Amino acid sequence: MSVDDLRREIADGCRVLAARGLAPGILGHISVRVDGTRLLVRCRGSRERGLAHTTADDVRLVDLDGAAGAPGELDGYAVPFELPLHTAVLRRRPDVDVVVHAHPRDVVVADLAGLPILPIVGAYDIPGAVLAAGGVPVFPRSALVSTADLGDAVADALGDRPVVVMRGHGLTATGCSVAEAVLRAQAVATLARLSLDVVTAGGELAPISVDDLAALPDLGGALNLETAWRHELARLT
């Protein structure tokens, strides 16, 4: 995929985050690894209008230290304050090409209420159940991840998992594509919202049985990623 195609894909991903309420307003960003030393990331500019209105022009090529990755790339733009979050994960995880940082309200509320992300549903959301069954770690600080040390701390908390919840802050999700990372963030937000609803209704959270989890089929990337992502893009229009 060309750099220009990746810019458009990141812009689409940002708009989906906003449409799903995962990154309302102006906060949140997506990055994509381009090569061993550079990444594309949604940047801040004097004309930005928030994630819901992200354009490919808001996505800029930078190196792992936040400098312009090509002549003129940062003209009129600045990298997000939390770029160290992205670069730390990309440095640590060669299996990851995309990092999504978002602020889903339900994830923040559920974590502050002491509710872990558990596989409380099965066929309702199979990829979400599988993700939760593997464990969703929590980064216990609410700081802005604007330094290399804090970025490394988030990467430590994430470990080899696809998503980490960030206490009083939001979440960071990873993937091999923008679609995969954004859909993982959405799955965690859905589980958090369901968990809050269950507790509000007077119930108790309990994961589905091991047998039911094992019986869930892998419906494949054509449905879980490609069709799901086409749906998200169609919702934007």
Catalytic residues: 82
CA angle 1–61–15, rounded 5-degree value: 70
Q: What is the DSSP string of 55-101?
A: -GGGEEEEETTSSBSSTTTTTTEE--TTHHHHHHHHHH-TT--EEEE
- Alpha-helical segments (H) within the chain: 3-19, 83-92, 105-112, 126-133, 148-158, 178-200, 210-215, 221, 228-236
Q: Under DSSP, is residue 109 helix (H, G, I), strand (E, B) or coil?
A: helix
Number of CB atoms found within 10 A of residue 34's CB: 17
Residue type, 93: R
- 51: tokens are 């994630």
| Structure-token match 């060669």, residue found | 94
Residues 6 or more apart whose CB falls under 8 angstroms from that of 141 comprise 150, 153, 166, 167
Task: Report the alpha-carbon distance of residue 186 to residue 148 in Å, rounded.
Answer: 27
